Structure 1
Amino acid sequence: MTEGPPDVVRETGHDDLAGFLGRLTRLMLGSSGEGAEQIEGAVTAVARGLGGTATLAVLPDAATVAVTSHGRSSTVVVRAFPEVFRMDRMAALKPFLHEVAAGRLDVAQADRRLTAITSSPLPYPWWAKLIGIVLFSVGFAPLMQPTWYEVGSTAVLATVAACLVVAADRLPRLAKVLPLVVAVTVSVLTLEVFARTGAHGGPVLLMLPALFFFVPGDYLSAAAAELAAGYLTTGAIRLVYAVALLVQLFVGVVLGLVITGRPREALFDVAAQGDLPRWALFLGWIVFTVGTLLAFAVPAGMFGRLLVLVYVTVGVQSGFTVLLGNLGGTFAAAVVLGAATTWLARRPDQPPRIILVLPGFFTLTVGSLGMRGLTALAGGDTVEGFRDLTELVTLVTAIAAGLLVGAVAAQRPGRAG
């Protein structure tokens, strides 16, 4: 407990609280895959638990925190680039936030715990992330084309992409242009090595699984959810950023055409005849989930719950697609995923919602439609390109609305946000 004259105690106590809330907001902002609403709710609850109040104005890469406590008020501005690559920190943060909000820790204790979380090492070695990205892509490959050739080519292309990702962790300059560099590299290799003829499907279908790690489907749906919840500025900025990432990937693919000298018609989206047995499709989701754990640093103990959610999402989407079509199936799967993850995340001993949603969300494969639409337009297939882009907008909205409906349905009675 702080000792000294009352004025000094008030000043020190307020500064400590404001500093702690600023560091907490920065950490959450850097992992804001679910959007601004989650950050605002968590930080204001923690402030109350520590005897103060907080009001936030959140943007995708910055936040202003107005703190009132000990008879004083001040404002803290923090910045952080949003990403979803350190889910181990989010897993450790949830029980910690619950303790602080319940008033079980003082500011000094909370600050020490937060420092331990932010400075914690990765749960896996660097090469595990490389393997994770490969497994993540290989598990997703059968969704593009259920062929052994798709799986084999993806394993090679994803290994190259994963090497670039791991290198970017140590080379900040490469990190700034990573999506573009990966897209160019994957495009050239695909066109020169794996897509010399159309016998194994269109080049875009062969490229997409290796690029899926970079496709901003999560940003697109988070943006749609923020717009629906009334966070207009945050949602609009995140939407623009997601589109910019898609355009980087698109430009990289087109540059691959230029480098290889292939005509733009080479990007026509033609699917090959499937030859994967059903057991391979079923096991693919296990590979995908293991890859998700390693690629996004999710603690290994959560594997079982995430795998169940993946299979539930796939099952609901497949079943309702037969009854209601692609849009209806996607919306139904998003509702079930949103409800199940919100219900589970209500318990302090369960993972945070963003981790529970992550692999199930990726199975809905939103962002890849945007890449397919852009590359179809580049290949001269105007009708197919606009059809894919229109479907992208529709499915993004359906997923965001479904997750929102499911979350609202599973919230505790009388609790908002």
Structure 2
Amino acid sequence: MEAALRGAHEPGVGAEAYTTMDLALRVGELMLAGGETAESVDRAMSRITYAYGLPHCEIDVTLAAVGLSYLPRGGRPPVTAERRVRRRLPNYARLVAVHEMVRAAAAGRLTLQESKFALSDIIGRPTVYPNWLTVGALSLLGAAGAVLVGGGFYAAVAAFVATLLGERTGEWLGRRGIADFFQMALAAAIGSLVTVLLAWSDTPIRSGSVIIGVVIAHIPGRALVVSMQDGIAGDLVTGTTRLVEVLFTITAILSGIGSIIYLAARWGVPISLENLPTAPRSVAAAQTLGAAAIAVAFAVFHLVPRAYLLPVAVGGVLAWGSYVELRQLELPAAPATAIAATVVGALGTAYARQRRVPALVCVTPCIAPLMPGTLMYRGMLELTGGDTGQGALILVEALATALAIGAGVYIGAELLRVIRPARRILRPTRRISTRA
């Protein structure tokens, strides 16, 4: 009798069921395109389908697509649909809005049609910052990276210009269908060329800090963090795919740097490891300001809402200060980075819970100052100088440091979950109307 009652209340595969599936797929597509983890995408889609009467759904999330399969009871045939994620552009403001809409739908405050219109409104909203400001934010990130490793005002200006030229050139190539790999390689090559020209002209500028700033600006920190989170959480296909994408991007950066440095060495330009800029071993005012600027610039470039820029700046300073203090205790770069990222991951996730926003919004920009730009540049200099073994070891250390960032962020969130479990999200106790 109980089974018969459940079957009586099971919705058929009608217009409302198709609308619910379409809504869930569009939510998943937006979240995945915005950089959210596979676990969060799966959870949000499940909440949508449950809220609107489709409790028996299977969800499949990969880096390139989201799929949804609904199996009605009563011997009716299953329905399967999929949406491809063709462009993955960071937009954390849209990500926050989608999470708010999903919460409202799951709590029964929105009908199906209201959720559909709300999602269309989110998609149609203008970005929180104009295009020129996001482009400027990436260039500012490069300039702040130069300051972070000891470069002065003129080095920061040079890094700003080099990053801007690389970004604009990559944008121009992208409009002509050139692959992202070559766009990134050319951007790194332009930064290296500016460094080589400064070294060749013998100007009193720490030229090495320029290319390090450019590298920090282009390392894919967002994808790096999410790839480690997906992999550790058990979404191995998505996590591995994201990680391979990160490795290809890093390879492109190294290719651009290496090609220019090799040509410079052949032409006799004096580039050596003797005066290579390094991060200070104690907290300094200029570098602290640079860390805050990197975090804020990263946040603006990824369209984080204005209300979170100040907390992001504080988080960037905390990440950098923790790293420097740990390095002062003679810890290697990778463990120091992992611990600093763990601290930021725990505190940032706690703040995100309080504000009821995705943790990525509050955490990812804060770890940008920890990107291993100096190690990558030093490794390429060793390789082009003929010391292949030492160069390879340094590049492996750079990769380990980069992976330590993503792992540390996830570990911090998990530690917070042990100490302070997230509140259990209750399912709606009644089926809300799906008619407008």
TM-score by length of 2: 0.81
CA contact (8 A) 2:265 2:271 kept: no
Alignment partner of 1:233 is 2:243: no
Equivalent in 80, 86, 101 of residue 106 of structure 2: 101
Equivalent in 85, 89, 97 of residue 90 of structure 2: 85
* 3-state SS in 2 of match to 1:66: strand
CA contact (8 A) 2:304 2:361 kept: yes
Following superposition of structure 1 onto structure 2, how do residues 182-201 of structure 1 map, counting pairs within 5 Å? 182-197=187-202, 200-201=205-206
Which residue does 2:28 correspond to in 1? Answer: 25
Length, aligned pairs only: 408
Equivalent in 197, 207, 212 of residue 208 of structure 1: 212
Moved more, 34-43 or 188-197: 188-197
Q: 1:360 to 1:294 in 2, by over 3 A?
A: closer
The CA deviation at 1:85 is 2.7
How far apart in 2 are the matches of 1:293 and 1:224? 20
The CA deviation at 1:165 is 5.4
* 3-state SS in 2 of match to 1:57: strand
How far apart in 1 are the matches of 2:118 and 2:249? 35
Alignment partner of 1:58 is 2:61: yes
The CA deviation at 1:68 is 4.9
Which residue does 2:429 correspond to in 1? Answer: none
Which residue does 1:3 correspond to in 2? Answer: none
Alignment partner of 1:376 is 2:382: yes
CA contact (8 A) 1:264 1:378 kept: no
Which residue does 2:344 correspond to in 1? Answer: 337
The CA deviation at 1:202 is 6.2
How far apart in 1 are the matches of 2:379 and 2:134? 29
How far apart in 1 are the matches of 2:73 and 2:373? 47
Which residue does 2:142 correspond to in 1? Answer: 137
Which residue does 1:160 correspond to in 2? Answer: 165
Which residue does 2:221 correspond to in 1? Answer: 217
How far apart in 2 are the matches of 1:366 and 1:78? 36
Alignment partner of 1:127 is 2:132: yes
Which residue does 1:315 correspond to in 2? Answer: 321
CA contact (8 A) 1:217 1:367 kept: no
* 3-state SS in 1 of match to 2:303: coil
* 3-state SS in 2 of match to 1:346: helix
CA contact (8 A) 1:246 1:370 kept: no
Alignment partner of 1:352 is 2:355: no
* 3-state SS in 1 of match to 2:125: coil
Alignment partner of 1:327 is 2:331: no
| 1:208-229, Cα deviation, whole Å (9 max, x unpaired) | 3124332223333432332222
Q: Give the counterpart letter for 2:303 in structure 1.
A: A
How far apart in 2 are the matches of 1:316 and 1:115? 42
